[in-house]
Amino acid sequence: MAIFGEKSFRAKQVFEWLWQKNATSFDEMSNLSVLLRQKLNEHYFIDKISLDDQQISSDKTIKCAFSVGDGKVVEGVLIPTATRTTACISTQIGCSLSCAFCATGRLKLMRNLTPGEIVDQVVYLKNQAENRYRTPLTNIVYMGMGEPLLNYKNTLRSIEMITSPEGLGMSPKRITVSTAGIAKMIRKLGDDEVKFNLALSLHAANDKKRSHIMEINDSNNLEELADALRYFHQKTDARITFEYIIFKDFNDKIEDAQELAAFARCVPCKINIIEYNSIDGGEFQQADKSNVDAFAAYIESKNLVVNVRRSRGKDIDAACGQLANKNKAIDQKERILK
């Protein structure tokens, strides 16, 4: 604020309006003088994302397409259940990893999202939870479009703002970052001693199968990932979540469960078995319920914590792996702040 001849505490006031009160214009900042607000309007623009399209599922899941200000659109999802309300948010527009089962992987990577664009998704979905469903936002998962660890700096900065008392003040234990498995960046998370939860999108526990569906495994194989996860756990003492999408006649047999159980011994963990959600032209199908149940029962018999996650929002293409940015983009806008 020195450039405007204002005292330093004015900067803190602007910061609070942006990150605590989520102001969309300088005119809302009522504890600033009219003259200062005029100067801010003359020199700056608040770069808030805007809602481009919204769909509500029969199970109350809400999928939002957000314009991020340069003619591009990114998606976020609000997932309400009886016990929690979760915001699933994106970190990139598109994705570079091309996982075979994921609709987002068919999009080219266009760019990383800024910290502000990531936080704005959370704010909008938080407001939807509170205003539409009269419930607080309890959890945030970085499981939308993109690979969070390939947008490392902005991802961690967004979490800093979400968890900061000067920001949204949410506990880091309510936040989970999911990665397709980039060993060196998992180690960096350990070096940075992060406090949030880490999930690994595993989906197969032998290298041949995993490389078939996830190209990233060619350069980050299971042995390297296990070493990185052990390092992360040593640094943070955190339990890892293994995400395992189960596909019919691909990774749904007891032999696959045996491989998963063996790999999962590398670190303290819990395992989420996730129902597959079909995508247009995909090669995989949803596994039979009997196979899923037998698979989960075997994992549980090995004294591992396992949960079967049923999909939500499938009727609006909002379920895991279905975010494909089918909504139209809006015109490009200038971005100055955030």
**CATH number, residue 273:** 3.20.20.70
Please check whether residues 17 and 113 belong to one and the same domain: no
Q: Is the pLDDT of residue 273 over 90?
A: yes
Given the DSSP bridges, would you call strands 269-275 and 240-246 parallel, antiparallel or unpaired? parallel
Q: What is the CATH number of the domain that holds 28?
A: 1.10.150.530
Please check whether residues 206 and 297 belong to one and the same domain: yes
Cα(95)–Cα(147) distance, integer angstroms: 7
The answer to whether 88 is a known catalytic residue is no
Closest CA to 127 of 58, 48, 72: 48
Per-residue confidence (pLDDT) for residue 311, from 0 to 100: 63
Please report whether residue 331 resides in a domain. no
Q: Return the minimum-mean-pLDDT range out of 179-183, 293-297, 313-317.
A: 313-317
Per-residue confidence (pLDDT) for residue 166, from 0 to 100: 85
Count of structural domains within the chain: 2
Share of the chain above pLDDT 70, in %: 89
Angle, helices 222-236 vs 183-191, to 10°: value is 10
Q: Is the pLDDT of residue 121 over 70?
A: yes
Q: In a 3-state reduction of DSSP, which class is residue 269?
A: strand
Answer whether 300's CB lies under 8 Å from 306's CB: yes
Please report whether residue 338 resides in a domain. no
What average pLDDT does the structure give for the chain?
88
Catalytic residue among 64, 75, 102, 275: 75
Provide the 10 A C-beta neighbour count for residue 331: 8
Q: Is the pLDDT of residue 40 over 70?
A: yes
pLDDT band with cut points at 50, 70 and 90 for residue 336:
very low
Per-residue confidence (pLDDT) for residue 74, from 0 to 100: 93
Per-residue confidence (pLDDT) for residue 327, from 0 to 100: 43
Q: Is the pLDDT of residue 320 over 60?
A: no
Q: Return the minimum-mean-pLDDT range out of 44-53, 131-140, 154-163, 283-292.
A: 44-53
Q: Is the pLDDT of residue 8 over 90?
A: no
Instruction: Tell me the pTM.
Output: 0.88
Please check whether residues 195 and 237 belong to one and the same domain: yes
Cα(142)–Cα(132) distance, integer angstroms: 22
The answer to whether 320 is a known catalytic residue is yes
Share of the chain above pLDDT 90, in %: 67
User: Strands (DSSP E) along 223-304, which ranges?
Assistant: 240-246, 269-275
Higher pLDDT, 273 or 68: 273
Catalytic residue among 275, 300, 320, 334: 320
Per-residue confidence (pLDDT) for residue 316, from 0 to 100: 56
Cα(319)–Cα(301) distance, integer angstroms: 29
Please check whether residues 36 and 52 belong to one and the same domain: no
Please check whether residues 186 and 72 belong to one and the same domain: yes
Please check whether residues 259 and 291 belong to one and the same domain: yes
Cα(17)–Cα(281) distance, integer angstroms: 46
User: Which amino acid is located at 186 in the chain?
Assistant: I
Task: Show the domain range for 177.
Answer: 47-316
Please check whether residues 5 and 141 belong to one and the same domain: no
Per-residue confidence (pLDDT) for residue 279, from 0 to 100: 66
Per-residue confidence (pLDDT) for residue 18, from 0 to 100: 82
Cα(67)–Cα(117) distance, integer angstroms: 10
DSSP state of 332: B
Please report whether residue 63 resides in a domain. yes
Please check whether residues 141 and 19 belong to one and the same domain: no
Per-residue confidence (pLDDT) for residue 65, from 0 to 100: 94
Per-residue confidence (pLDDT) for residue 108, from 0 to 100: 84
pLDDT band with cut points at 50, 70 and 90 for residue 2:
low
Per-residue confidence (pLDDT) for residue 328, from 0 to 100: 39
Q: Is the pLDDT of residue 149 over 70?
A: yes
Provide the 10 A C-beta neighbour count for residue 185: 18
Q: Is the pLDDT of residue 332 over 50?
A: no
Please check whether residues 159 and 289 belong to one and the same domain: yes
Q: Is the pLDDT of residue 38 over 70?
A: yes
Please report whether residue 334 resides in a domain. no
Please check whether residues 99 and 233 belong to one and the same domain: yes
Please check whether residues 3 and 75 belong to one and the same domain: no
**CA of residue 77 relative to chain centroid, distance:** 10
Q: Is the pLDDT of residue 216 over 60?
A: yes
